[in-house]
Structure 1
C-alpha cells in the first residue's frame, strides 16, 4: 500500500489479478501456443475414439449434427471465458470469476469442479496412454493386461507431471509437435475414408454423405438427442486450458479469450469432418466397422484404422500411425490437464482459499511447485483407487467427468451474466456477448447436468457399476462418482471458507448499519469487501455526532486481512468513538489512538493502521482534519469547481514511529462535497492510486442527485470488476446552519454582566418560540458565566444554537474544567453544575487553542412536551 505522495507504508501481501502478479512467467506464450494448449487439452483423437460410438448408438446417422449441436453451448461458454478474462486475467478462472460474482463459497466450488474434472479425467486418459503405448510396440498381450496398463498409466502421469514442473514453455513446445501430428493424422484418416467411399473401394457398411445427416429434426427422440449431446460435450471440453495459463500469456487480457474461441471453432471443424468421414466409411451398424458396434464402443479407431488404410503397402504403417495418434492425443491431454489444475490450485492458494504453501513458485522455472506435484499425486491416487473399485474404469470415469464439466462451465456462464448485469444496457454487443450468450450457455449446461445426474447416469443399469445408497436404493456408479466428488467439495468448502465468512460477518457487524440523518450534512457510506479470503477485513468508516452540532468523520484501514484485522478494526473504531466524545482535536485524537495500537490493546500489536479523522462544524463551516498515513479526502466545491485533495500533512500510520500528527483546517462553503476513502477504492490491478483518484474525481463531478446514488455510482465505476482488497467510501454533502439559528454575545469579565447575559438569552429564546426552556437556560447561563468570571481571565463568549437541540455554550480563556460533584450538606457552593446536569440532557467541555468551551444541550422535545 502507498500514500498519494508515493511514500510506501507496510502492507500484508494480497493476491492480485493480472498477468505476472503472482510471480508466474508472464509473456511466455503467444496466440499459437495458447491455441495449441487448448486443442491438446481436448485430446481430439482420443475423444473421437472414445465418444464417437456412444453418440452413434444414441442418434444414428445424425451423429455429425450432434457434433455441431454440442459445439453451440461450448461456444457460448467460451464467450463467457473471453469476457471475464478481459477484466480479470487470473489463472484461477472459474474459481476467481464465480467468487467475484456470487461470493467465495460459490467460487470455491467452481475451483473444486475444475479439480474434480481434471483429476478424474487423468485417471481415464492415463489408462488410454498405457494401453496404446503397448499397442504401438506390438505388445497386445500387455495392452490387455489391467496390471500392466495401470503401471504404464502411472508412469505417464509421473512423466507429464515432471514436464509441467520444468516450465510452461517446455510444455508448450512439446504440445506444438504433438498437436500438429495429431491433427495431421486425423485429417489423413478423414481424407482416406472419404476417398475409399467415393473412389470405388468402400467398406462393407459404407454410405454416401447426405444432407439429412445434418437435420436435427430427424433425431429419433429428445432423450436420444440429450444423450448424444452429453457424450459430445465431453469431447469439446478442455479448450479452457488456453485461459488457465492467461497469466503466462502475452497480452493476457485478450489473447487467452481469443484462443478459447478459436479452439472451439477448430474443434467443430475437426469433429464434424472426422465424424462425417468415419460414418460414411463404416456406417452406423452394430457389426464390423459400424460406429454402433458395442465391441468397439470405447475405441472406434481400432477397427476403422486398419479397414480404412488396408492391409497392403503403407496400410499397416498408417494403421500403426493411427494408434500413435491416439497415444499422442492421450499424452498431450495428460500434460495439458495437469497445467490448468495446477494453476487453479495455485490461484486458490494465492487467494488463501487453500493452504498458502500451494502458492509456492520454483525460483528458476517460475512454475507452481506444490500445486503441480500435488496434482500429479492426486491423479495417481484416484487412478489407483478407481482401478481397485471399478470394473470398467474407462466408461465410469469419462462419464462422471461430464458432470463436473457441466457444473463449472455452467457456473462460469452464469457468473459472466451476473457480473456484467449493470453494464448490459450499454450496447447491443454487451447485451449479447456478456449477457444473453453466456447466460444461455449456463442454462444449457444446467439442463445437461441435471438430466445426466438424476436421469441417465442415475439408472443402476447404466455403466459398469452401481451403488446401493441408504434411503435411495441402487444408483448408477457414474452419478455416485460424479456427484460424490462434488459433495466432498461442499464439505471442504464449508471448512475452508469458514474464516472468510466469519470475518465478513464480523466486519459488517462492526461497521455502521445505517448512517442516521444529521443536520450538518447529507451522508452516504459504502463498504465493499474483497472477494477472496485474503482481502477481507480492516477497512472502516464512521460518522460520530459531536457537541454543538458538529460531526466527526472517520475512515481507516488496518494494513492486514482476515479475522485478526477485522477484530482490530472493531476495537479501534470503538476507541476512536470514545476519544471523539472527549472533543479532542484530530491530531491529539490520532496520537492517543496510536498509543493504543502500539500497546496492542485491541490485538493489533505488530499491525500498522492508517486513519483519517475530520471534524466539521456546521455553524462556522470549518473542517479540521488530520491523517495517519492515510490518503487525504477529495473535496468538490459547492460552485462546481474542480475537485481537489487538500494539502494535508500525512503523519505515519498508527503503530509506526514517526513525526507528530498535524491538523489542517479548511473552510467549506455550504453544499460542498467531501469524500473520504480507503486505498482499496482507488487502487486496482490495472491502475495506480493517482489514476484511481482521478477517476473518483470524474464521478463526483456530477454532484447531482441523492448522495446514495452518487456513492453507488462511485463504487461501480471504480470497482466494476475484481476486488482484491476491501474498500470503504464516506461521502458528505455539507450544510450550514442559518444565521438566524445562532446567537452570539461577548460578555465582559465582570459580575454585573451575568444578569445581562441572562436577559439576552431569554430574549433570544422568546424570539425562537422556546419560552418553555427559559428557566433552565437562565440557570445554565448564570452558573457558567459566573464560573467564567470567577475562575478565568479575559473575554467571555456566550453562544446559543438552535438545531436539533438547544445548545448553550460559554467560552473563556481558562484551561481548568469544572468537575461534577456532590456538595456536602454544610457547603454553601458546589451545587450549580450538579443542578445543571440534572435539568439538561448532556454537557461537556472541549478545549481550544485560546481556552475552553463548556456546552450544555437541551432537547427541543422537552419544550414541545411542556407546550402540550
Structure 2
C-alpha cells in the first residue's frame, strides 16, 4: 500500500472490507488448511467420479481402444500449467491466482480478463454440477421420473447450490472437513470398482470383456491426428479443478509452498485414478455400441451406473455397492459444486480487494472470515444462470456447459504465459528456473492456446456440433458452443474496458505528472525508474523530481502518497507542484517540509469538511524526502517526513550506508518539527532516493531484505547509471508488485575552481569599482565579454545595496554553469522588493533593471544573512524549458 498506515476508529460490528489487496493481507483465515486438506479440495474440484462417468464414453467414441492413453496424455498440459501455478504462488500467494498473476505480468486489463475467464467457467460449471447432483439424487432415491423432469431437477440443483454456498460461507475449515470425507469415499469407491472390474475380466470372463493390451497405450494407433486432438480436447478438461487448491492459498499454512505442492500432487493422483478407471472400465465393458459397451451413445452421459450394476451385481452386497457407486457420482458432483464456489468467490474477492470490481465484494464476515458478498453473490449468480437458461432452452444450457472448455483453456493458458513472462528476467539464473519457471509453463500455455483455437474455430464451430447453431453476419451458421464460449469472453472485454477505465486514467495522469525526462545537470548525473503497480489498487502517488536551484544547486525530492487510484495520482500532482514552488523560494529542506505540512493539513481539513460524514484527504500521511545538493561546496542537506532514508554510496570504496535522518512525521499529521541533516558528498558519490514500494516487494519476506538487496546492487557505483537502475529493478522487483515504486539515482559532481570566482569586500563604497573591475576581468578569462556590461551593472547595483542597507563583510561570487550566476551575500536579513519607481523618484529602479536584464533572480537566506542571486543566459545558449 502507498504510504504509512493511518490510525482508524475501532471497527463497527458487521462485515468489513478486506484490509488490503496484497497476498495474505486481505483478512482471510490464515493457516486453516494443511497439505491434506488442500489436496482433498484440489481432487474434489475435478469431480473424478462424475468426470469419468460423463466423459469416458465420449473419448471412446472418438479414439476407440486408445481411450486410456488419451486420458493419460491429457495429463501433460495440466501438469505443465500446475507447475506454472506452483511457481507463481511461491512468489505471490494471492487468492486471485490468474487475475493477480496476469495483472502483474501483462497489466490490469489482461489480468481482469483472466479473472473473468475463471468467473465464466465456474458459474457455468456450478449450474451444471448442481443439476447433475439433483438428477443423481433422484436416481439414488429411486425417483426415476423426477430425474427426467427438468423442473424438479432445476429445483434440486438450486437447493444444492444453496446448501453448498452455506457450507462455504460458514468457514473454510468446515468446507475442508466435508471435502476430506467426500473425496475419501469417492476415491475408495472408484478404486474398488476398478479392481472388481479387472478381477472379473480375468476370472469371470464377461461377454463384453476384453483383455488389456499394450496397444491401448500407443497414441500412434489412434485412427487420425484429428481424432487424437479431439480426444485430448475431450479428456483434458476432466483434470480441470485442481487449481482450487491454489485459490485457497491465503487460508493455507505455508501459503507459498503448500498450495503449489497440492496442485501438482492433485494432477498426479488424477492421472493414476483416471488411468486405472478408464483401463478397467474399457476392459470390463468393451467399446461396443450396445449394452454396457462404452461406445453405446445412450450411456455416454453416464457410463459408470451401468458398469457398476454389471460389475457389482444387483443382489445383496452388490446392490449396495452399485448404489454406492451412484452415490459416489452424486457426491462427486456435490463436492465439486462446493469447491467450485471456493475459487469463484475468492477470485471475485481478490478482484474487489484490488478494486477491479465493486468494493462490496471485498467484504468479510467478522466471525467466519469468509468473503461475504463474493460467496453469497456468486451463489445467487449461479442460481440465476441455471434458472434462466433452463427456462429459455435446455439445449442452450447444454451448449453453454460444453463452451466452458474455452474459458478453461483461456485462463489456464494465460497463467502459463504469465509465469514465463513474469520470471523472464531470472530464467538464466539456474537450469531449474529456466525449466520450471519458463519452458514448462510456456509449453503448457502453448498447448492450451492450441486447444483453445482448435476447439473454438474447428470442433465447436461446426454447426452440427452440440444442440444449437446460430447464423452470424458475414460468417454464416456457426456452432452454438463456439458462439456462447467466445461470446462470454467478449462480454468480459466490454466489462473490462468499463471497470478498468479509472485505472487507465489514473496511470495516464500519474505518468503525465511525473518528469517526462531528466534534463542534464552540471551538478549531478541522473537516472530514474517509475514502475506502476500491477492493478487498479496499486496505481497511486509515488513521485520523484529534480529541481534546478540558484547557485548551480539542485533540489532532489521523492514522495509517496497514501492511497491509490485517480485521487491519489491527482494528489501527487498537487504536492509535486507545491514542492517545486516552495523549492524556488530557496527554502532549507526543513522549512520546505514545514510549509508543505501546513498546506497538506489545510487541504485535508477542507476535504474532510466537503465530504458528507467527514473524511480525510489522500495527502494526509504522505511521506516525502527533500534534499539540496551544492556542487560548489559538495554539501548535501536533507530532511524527511516519514520517508525512508536514501542510500549513500562512497565513491572511493563502494560502501553503502543509510544515514540516520532526524525523525519527522508524515505530512499532515503534525507532531515533531522537521530537522535537516548535512552530509559531505565527494565527487562521484552515489545517492539513491526511493519509495517504500521499491524495497518492500512481494518476495522480501524479511524486514530490511529490500534494503540489503539495494545495497548489494549499489556496491559498484562506477557502473553506468542506466545499468544500475536496470539491475536494481531486476533484483528488487523481478515482477511487478501491488504498490507502485519509484527510484531516483544521483551521482554527484563538483564544479572546478575554473568555474567559480569569488571575492570578499568591505562595506566601503570604494569597493564597488573594484568589484566591477574584477568581474570584467573574470568574464574576459571565461570568454564572456558579451556579458560584461550587464554583469557589471548587476554587481554594482547589488553591492551598492548591500553597503547601504546591510553593512559588514560582503561576498561576491560568479558561477559559470549552464548559465552565468552572480551572487552577492551580506549579513542582512531584510528582503529586497521589486517595484516600479515613479517618474520623479531618484532611486528604486535598480532591481527593476536587474530583473529586465537577467533570466531569473531571487533571494535565499542562511544563518549568516542573505544572498541575492541572478542568472543570465550564456551567449548562444537556447532558452531553457519552462519545466526546468
Q: TM-score, normalised by structure 1?
A: 0.96
* Residues 715 and 596 (structure 1), Cα distance of their counterparts in 2 relative to 1, 3 Å cut: same
Deviations 1:47-86 (A, max 9, x none): 0111111111111111111112111100000000000000
- Alpha-carbon contact 1:360-1:368 (below 8 Å) kept: yes
**1:52: which partner in 2?**
56
Q: State the 1:629 CA deviation.
A: 2.0
CA distance in 2, matches of 1:275, 1:166: 37
Equivalent position SS for 2:534: coil
- Work out whether 1:678 is the aligned partner of 2:683: no
**1:447: which partner in 2?**
450
Deviations 1:11-48 (A, max 9, x none): 998624344x2221111111111111111110001001
- Work out whether 1:373 is the aligned partner of 2:376: yes
- Work out whether 1:634 is the aligned partner of 2:647: yes
- TM-align CA RMSD: 2.1
* Residues 293 and 799 (structure 1), Cα distance of their counterparts in 2 relative to 1, 3 Å cut: same
Runs of 4 or more above 6 Å deviation: 11-14, 601-604
Equivalent position SS for 1:559: strand
- Work out whether 1:82 is the aligned partner of 2:67: no
- Work out whether 1:753 is the aligned partner of 2:767: yes
**1:483: which partner in 2?**
486
CA distance in 1, matches of 2:389, 2:227: 29
* Aligned positions of 1:301-700 closer than 5 A: 301-392=304-395, 395-600=398-603, 605=617, 607-640=620-653, 642-685=655-698, 686-687=700-701, 690-700=704-714
Q: State the 1:8 CA deviation.
A: 6.7
Equivalent position SS for 2:843: coil
Deviations 1:510-542 (A, max 9, x none): 001111111111111222222122221111100
CA distance in 2, matches of 1:728, 1:9: 22
**2:829: which partner in 1?**
815
- Work out whether 1:300 is the aligned partner of 2:308: no
* Residues 524 and 661 (structure 1), Cα distance of their counterparts in 2 relative to 1, 3 Å cut: same
**2:611: which partner in 1?**
none
* Residues 534 and 863 (structure 1), Cα distance of their counterparts in 2 relative to 1, 3 Å cut: closer
Unaligned 5+ segments in structure 1 are none
Equivalent position SS for 2:563: coil
CA distance in 2, matches of 1:317, 1:757: 113
CA distance in 1, matches of 2:113, 2:378: 17
Deviations 1:400-424 (A, max 9, x none): 1111110110010000000000000
- Alpha-carbon contact 1:682-1:692 (below 8 Å) kept: yes
- Work out whether 1:840 is the aligned partner of 2:849: no
**1:717: which partner in 2?**
731
CA distance in 2, matches of 1:690, 1:279: 60
**2:288: which partner in 1?**
285
**1:799: which partner in 2?**
813
**1:787: which partner in 2?**
801
- Within the candidate set 745, 761, 765, 1:731 is matched to 745
**2:610: which partner in 1?**
none
- Alpha-carbon contact 1:95-1:111 (below 8 Å) kept: yes
- Work out whether 1:125 is the aligned partner of 2:129: yes
- Work out whether 1:188 is the aligned partner of 2:186: no
- Alpha-carbon contact 1:14-1:351 (below 8 Å) kept: no
- Within the candidate set 140, 163, 174, 1:170 is matched to 174
- Within the candidate set 37, 42, 47, 1:38 is matched to 42
* Aligned positions of 1:15-30 closer than 5 A: 15-19=20-24, 21-30=25-34
CA distance in 2, matches of 1:777, 1:2: 48
Unaligned 5+ segments in structure 2 are 9-16, 608-615, 880-884
Deviates further, 392-401 or 243-252? 392-401
Q: State the 1:350 CA deviation.
A: 1.4
- Within the candidate set 51, 66, 71, 2:75 is matched to 71
Deviations 1:226-254 (A, max 9, x none): 21111111100000011111111111111
Equivalent position SS for 2:529: strand
**2:66: which partner in 1?**
62
Equivalent position SS for 1:655: coil
Q: State the 1:712 CA deviation.
A: 2.2
Equivalent position SS for 1:508: helix
Deviations 1:554-605 (A, max 9, x none): 1111112111111111011112111211212222222222222122189684
- Alpha-carbon contact 1:745-1:797 (below 8 Å) kept: yes
Q: State the 1:612 CA deviation.
A: 1.2
Q: TM-score, normalised by structure 2?
A: 0.94
- Alpha-carbon contact 1:18-1:252 (below 8 Å) kept: no
* Residues 500 and 788 (structure 1), Cα distance of their counterparts in 2 relative to 1, 3 Å cut: same
